[in-house]
Amino acid sequence: MPKPTQHPSWQALARHRDAIAETPIKHWFEQNPARAEQFSAQACGIYLDFSKHRINHDTMTLLLQLAREQHLEQRVQAMYQGEPINTTEQRQVLHVALRSQCGALPDHMADVCRVNEQMARFVEAVHAGHWRGHTGERISDVVNIGIGGSDLGPMMVTQALTPFHKPGIKAHFVSNVDASDLCETLKGLNPATTLFVVASKTFTTTETLTNARSARDWLLADLKHESAVAKHFVAVSVNVEKVKAFGIAEDNIFPMWDWVGGRYSLWSAIGLPIALACGMEHFNALRAGAADMDNHFASAPLEQNLPVILAMLGIWYVNFWDAQSHAILPYDHYLGAFTKYIQQLDMESNGKNAYLDGGYLEHHTGPVIWGEVGTNGQHSFHQLLHQGTRLVPVDFIVALNSHNPLGDHHAQLFANCLSQSRALMLGKSAAQAAAEFEAMGYSPDQAEQLAHHKVMPGNRPSSTLVLEHLTPQTLGALIALYEHKIFVQSVIWGINAFDQWGVELGKQLCNEIHPVLVNKNTEADFDGSTNTLISIYKHAH
């Protein structure tokens, strides 16, 4: 695969950036009354306004030329056709297949439908009270034990779909190996009515297995009989043998496959807590929304292709404007965990420094993803967005309609969202700032001196994504939009978005340090800092 920096479009983009560097976005709005219309696109219940960016038509033409020169369309086909594009693990990347209609899947993927049916039967049995706990009581609480992709996806979606929750059943999520996570979650839960879902693709993740063992101890301390485990523990994993060795009955295992990346797995049985909380119909609607976006991504021209547009705008800022981070700001309380979810999706996928074909990169890749729900972020870190020294492109996400149409709240929320993107773009000039100080009673001299404290440079770019309504369908489309955006960027950068070797060394070192910590007689033989910290820990225990 060619390096992106070798393409004519890359060089042209660098020159183009210099040519437009001094043109503020607001100037383009003044020049072109149709700008908002020309720099917007919509699909799958999502309207994308990307007019408040440092772009003109030439920018988009060059960015899409770069996408073509990097063979984006062929790479998308390769993913959809099941080529092993995760080359460092020799794996296919087929999360899109999990959203397909059963009839559309090839015979060798019949397992996908079987597991869907297994999930549907199980969810129905729990909801109808046919599946009961060891003492015959109905299940009232589901505790998902998993981490990373086996936690963030189902946790984020379950929270986002709160208005669709079924009465009588509550989902909880435990991920951290810090016992406080499990202990605080179990406080107030009744073992007789609690169901644990142990979610781990590999079933080797220490945090998850440690939490699952402690959860089993908690259950058995109350229910006394080993046989209770079969009524209170189910698992989702590729590794059926390891699940059985843990003591979970084969009938209680929901299989998944190595061609689903952990952070792309909420569409598989990893989504079981979503289905238990909201019902299978809503989980299916979520998948249908994602399938809509899959179709859009595969078929829409690049000029109107939402994932491609978002991806190429990201490339523009990372590689041509030196942006180091990207803020995702959902103006929707139910999307409180969305940024955290995208953080793993993006940073674990594109936080890479090696070309697919070998060798180290000559350009930057994934930005730091961060953010918070609006309007809370406005009273926290937006100061830096407006006046800080770093460029931070922003995605604003907002729904047209609220699930809680209370008084004037939604209009205020929407107005705040629009005001932020407008303030970022417009900024405040020195003359405006001085006039404000004068209006506060300062002399013209004082006002002029103070003015620069109020000056906001403006010209700070943002996209606004408007959902008709936050429903399972639009949420599915929104998640798939980001999945594909991240994939597109990986193609442009020439990296593998589907491995995560960078997390392995820490795990290996933990396996070396942990035994030394817990064994009084073993001397630490690491670096000086680690040895000292170990000895401090040992003194305390």
Q: According to the binding rule CB under 6 A, does residue 185 interact with ligand F6P?
A: no
Smallest gap from Cβ 148 to ligand F6P, in A, equals 3
Question: What are the residue ranges of helices labelled H in 321-463?
Answer: 338-350, 382-387, 409-426, 430-439, 444-454
Residue type, 371: G
Q: Which listed range, 35-43, 132-140, 147-155, 515-523, lies at the site for ligand F6P (CB under 6 A)?
A: 147-155
Residues 218-247 that bind ligand F6P (CB under 6 A): none
Query: Judged by CB under 6 A, which of 292, 332, 348, 372 binds ligand F6P?
Result: 348
Q: According to the binding rule CB under 6 A, does residue 271 interact with ligand F6P?
A: no
- Residues 510, 206 contacting (CB under 8 angstroms): yes
Smallest gap from Cβ 262 to ligand F6P, in A, equals 3
- Residues 142, 273 contacting (CB under 8 angstroms): yes
Q: Which listed range, 148-156, 360-368, 409-417, 437-445, lies at the site for ligand F6P (CB under 6 A)?
A: 148-156
Q: According to the binding rule CB under 6 A, does residue 175 interact with ligand F6P?
A: no
Q: According to the binding rule CB under 6 A, does residue 499 interact with ligand F6P?
A: no
End-to-end CA distance of the chain: 54
Q: Is the C-alpha dihedral spanning 160, 166, 128, 279 positive or negative?
A: negative
Q: According to the binding rule CB under 6 A, does residue 263 interact with ligand F6P?
A: yes
Q: According to the binding rule CB under 6 A, does residue 476 interact with ligand F6P?
A: no
348 or 483: whose CB is closer to ligand F6P? 348
CA distances from 505 to 500, 501, 508 (A): 11, 8, 5
381: which DSSP letter? T
Question: What are the residue ranges of helices labelled H in 56-136?
Answer: 57-69, 72-80, 110-128
Q: According to the binding rule CB under 6 A, does residue 352 interact with ligand F6P?
A: no
Smallest gap from Cβ 413 to ligand F6P, in A, equals 32
The DSSP bridge pattern shows strands 394-401 and 462-469 to be parallel
Computed over its alpha carbons, how large is the radius of gyration of the chain? 26
Structure tokens at 395: 């995605």
Q: According to the binding rule CB under 6 A, does residue 500 interact with ligand F6P?
A: yes
Smallest gap from Cβ 265 to ligand F6P, in A, equals 7
236 or 434: whose CB is closer to ligand F6P? 236
Residue type, 495: I
Query: Judged by CB under 6 A, which of 133, 262, 330, 374 binds ligand F6P?
Result: 262
Q: Which residues contact 9 (CB under 8 A, 6 or more apart)?
A: 62, 63, 65, 66, 69
CA distances from 71 to 6, 76, 283, 493 (A): 13, 9, 34, 12
Smallest gap from Cβ 205 to ligand F6P, in A, equals 3
Point out the residues that are catalytic.
Answer: 348, 379, 507
Q: Tell me, by CB under 6 A, how many residues bind ligand F6P.
A: 14
Which residues in this chain contact ligand F6P in the complex, by CB under 6 A? 147-150, 200-202, 205, 208, 262-263, 348, 500, 503
